[in-house]
Chain A
Amino acid sequence: MNNRSLSLELKNISKSFLDSHVLSGVQFSIVSGEVHALLGEKSSGKSVMASILAGIQQPDEGQIYLDGQSCVFHTPYDSLRMGIVLVHQNAQCLLHRPVYENVFLGQELCNKIGVLSYKDMQKKTQTLFAGLGFDIDPLQTMSVLNLEERQLVGIAKALLYDARIIIFDETHKIFGEKNLIHFFRILKKLKQEHKAILFNTYKIDEVFRIADKVTVLRGGRIVKTASVSEINNKALFELMTGSKPKKSSFVWNIRKPGNELFRIKDYTDYRHIFHNIDFSVREGEILAIIGMSGAERTTLARSIFGLRPRLSGSMYIREKKVDVTNPLQALVHKIAFLPESWEAQEIYSILSVQDNLIISILHKHTRLGFLKHYALERMCMQQKDILNIRIPYLYTPIQDVDTGNQKKILIGRYLLAGADVFIFDEPMRGVNFINRIEIYRIMMHLTEQGKALILFASELSELSDITNRILFLKGGSIHARFAKKEETKDSIQKKQRVMDSDEILSKEDGNHG
């Protein structure tokens, strides 16, 4: 490993699971000092390619050449030894252990007789974090960190290896703008250190922000490899989706909202993560709440759904005061919540689609304690048509359904339960272009029925077309409010960008001082 430079080449790599070809005949190469973007929609085979390089999966056909020599990676250990490091999409970590142990997992520091040197590991983690500008205490237990921070720890861990190539498998997918800037800064630094960097993404703008070269993957095939300077946005979109960009493929007509449906007043978290939050939503209205900090945003959403105790605050539904201190009460008052990690929190993965749809209304549809199967099945069929859920039949286990459809099924569950207020945390995160339009369509369907939607998100770009009103959350309180008529999309985005850089600057000042 004395020779720090590297050239990695994939030749004719193919991989299939059962009948579906995930990768076919992939030719790919990367050299040191290059930031290479692997662009592709969901399930285009990006992650599989990354895990083949990392030794997690083995290709069915084809060879990997490292510095001209053919290599086989059987386990992650083999890849790591060759200096190939993968940072995963969802940080796999030891929740019960302190942060520094997670950073050093698999490469612990020992003295000569094999005794671990804790102090060294703590100190090194401290300096590593300080160098990267992470505000994380190395002694903290991992479970205390939020998802973004856990991901940052995963990145730090990768940097600790004597890596020659670092692969980021949509690591930055969950980052808000602030951490994204951080992430790109780290990539630049790695590039200066003459490492090869491969990052997977489905966002075209990221390619132009950071990458030198781009490879487009579609349906498991490499469609194009080009240097970024030679290609434009529109061409990339066409290559990635296989279709021309249709700006007007979906027309959103913002409806005139009806009466006030939902209002919260003076909400303050018991740990003051947010304070004095006031807002209301009307029937058929979509309200976006934009917050850079994932912690603030998610705690507010959880608090509304009764998942978190609060210091003060009251909630009104149709101008009647109600008390929501746990999720059951929230459901009784017809509030639905789709959290960011809904796959883990709300899906009964081995049950069928139908069971997942009807789980919250079972008690209403029984006769003498027995379920009314026909009535329930009819309702499910109806939801399937309304929401355009694409599944072969209702008894398919939900884990075999793709995530876009899973999300629709969840919305269907709440629709069946008669929910009026829908709270989404990061509704568009990780959703590809096609499914995004589907979700827009469903949201429109919801507003037509007079439901109120509250969307929590870290960035505005994907939501600005559909919202009636926008609130900005900053420092725990509502920083700015916009209604649709007053501001155009551009000026709102400009406002948001300015806020981002403010935040980062103030942060850096704090660090220096």
Chain B
Amino acid sequence: MDNEKEETFSPSGKTEKRYNLLSLRGIVEGYTVFFLLLVLVLIISLLSNEFLKVRNLLNIVRQVSIMGTVALGASVVIISAGIDLSIGAVLLASGILAASFAQKSGWEFAIFPYLPVLPVVVPVLIGLAAGTLLGFLNGFIISRMSIPPFISTLGMMMMVQGLSFIYTQGRPVSHLNDSFLFLGQGVIFNSIPVPVIVFFSMAVISYFLLAHTKFGRYVYAIGDNEQAAYLSGIHVKKYKTLVYTYAGFLAALAGIMLTAKVSSVQAGWVTSFELDAITIVVIGGASLSGGVGTVLGTIIGAFIIGVLQNGLNILEISIYWQQLIKGLILISAVSLDILRRKQKQRKSAY
């Protein structure tokens, strides 16, 4: 049994017994979430022959990418032992703001009816700036005023929702320029959707930030033991602010892609993005008490939710049942992980 595992050092800074990928037991114990994803793919592809077609797989990746971008931000927040309930609202608000600068000129119900056609960079930058600013505000309130993140981001969520209504007067923002729509619907190299490229590049950047920079180290440190981080001379407040700012930035990015994908956006849409993001991060192995979690885990978590949703749609299972199954997967993924950790703890000294 001992030959199966060898002590290796993974670049994420996590020392863990690595298991031989060829042994089934190794897969189950070492990569619970990955195993779950495989099982899910296997079951759905056995039940439906539509599932494994390239077209459908591409569809899944496209679905996953927007949700996944939000979840990347959420995972950084959760690793720092925080929580951000406002990302759903920030996402919509940034989408609305960006879209309002990308409406077709001359349409009378537009927010700015006589705005000339701007290059696509302008609305995108405005949207990103708005999201980043809201994220920064979150971080500022949490770190400087010491208000618990749950409460301050809950308040922020309501305020941002209100602002979105005020800004749009409740009207949908639609009739968008083609150059803007490209960000959600376009493809590069004939087949790869833009959101997918954005998601994967953000995933690589997030991985790099978390695993290979001081910023990442400090995010883990603050999540693990804030007092220890402070006593080691780390600017805890600064890094906490940065964490929420980053989450806000990614939410804005996702908001712009979402708006472009569905060609319109309206204040008051019930997206529950914040809860979905938390679900993904937790399925990916992060702990809400902080200090634990990886970008890879979050990506796999996003794919589990994406595959599940797509598979259930293909199998024509009603939306009511889908909701139930999603909850079931969340609880079973986390309990599997906890079970595994307990076993590991038993094996190591007390």
Contact = CB atoms under 8 A, between A and B. Distances in A.
**The 4 residue pairs across chains A and B that have the minimum distance between CB atoms:** A106-B232, A92-B228, A94-B224, A77-B233
Q: Which of A76, A106, A271 has the most CB of B within 10 A?
A: A106
A114 B213 contact: yes
A95 B224 contact: yes
Interface string A62-90: 00000000000001110111000010100
Contacts of A308: 350
A139 B7 CA distance: 10
Chain B interface size range: 20 to 34
A116 B213 contact: yes
B9 A94 contact: no
Contacts of A97: 13, 220-221, 224, 291
Contact of B228 (A80, A94, A122): A94
A56 interface: yes
Contacts of B231: 54, 56, 76, 86, 88, 92
Contacts of B221: 94, 97, 101, 105
Contact of A118 (B11, B214, B220): B11
Contacts of A271: 349
Contacts of A157: 232
A108 B13 contact: no
Interface in B258-307: 291-292
Contacts of A107: 232-233
Contacts of B233: 75-77, 79-81, 106-107
B217 A108 contact: yes
24 contacts: A54-B231, A75-B233, A76-B230, A76-B233, A79-B233, A80-B232, A86-B231, A94-B224, A94-B228, A94-B229, A95-B291, A96-B292, A97-B13, A98-B13, A101-B13, A102-B228, A106-B233, A106-B234, A110-B214, A116-B212, A116-B213, A116-B217, A140-B15, A302-B350
B146 interface: no
B331 to A, nearest CB: 23
Contact of B232 (A76, A122, A139, A141): A76
Contacts of B349: 144, 271, 273, 295
B20 interface: no
A179 B238 CA distance: 38
B9 A118 contact: yes
Contact of B217 (A56, A92, A101): A101
Chain A interface size range: 35 or more
Contacts of A96: 220, 224, 291-292
Contacts of B9: 118, 122, 139
A308 B234 CA distance: 37
Interface of A: 54, 56, 75-77, 79-81, 86, 88, 92-98, 101-102, 105-108, 110, 114-116, 118, 122, 139-141, 144, 157, 271, 273, 295, 299, 302, 308
Nearest to A115: B212
Contact of A105 (B11, B15, B229, B348): B229
B1 to A, nearest CB: 16
Contacts of A79: 233
B5 interface: no
A144 B291 contact: no
Contacts of B179: none
Given A95-B291, A118-B9, 18 more contacts: A56-B231, A77-B235, A94-B228, A96-B224, A101-B13, A102-B228, A105-B217, A106-B233, A107-B232, A108-B217, A110-B213, A114-B213, A115-B213, A116-B217, A118-B11, A122-B9, A139-B9, A144-B348
A311 to B, nearest CB: 14
B226 to A, nearest CB: 9
A302 B224 CA distance: 26
B214 A93 contact: no
B227 interface: yes
A245 B5 CA distance: 60
Contacts of A139: 7, 9, 15
A45 to B, nearest CB: 20
B350 A299 contact: yes
Contacts of A118: 9, 11, 13
Nearest to B349: A144
Contacts of A88: 231
Contacts of A122: 9
B225 interface: yes
B240 to A, nearest CB: 14
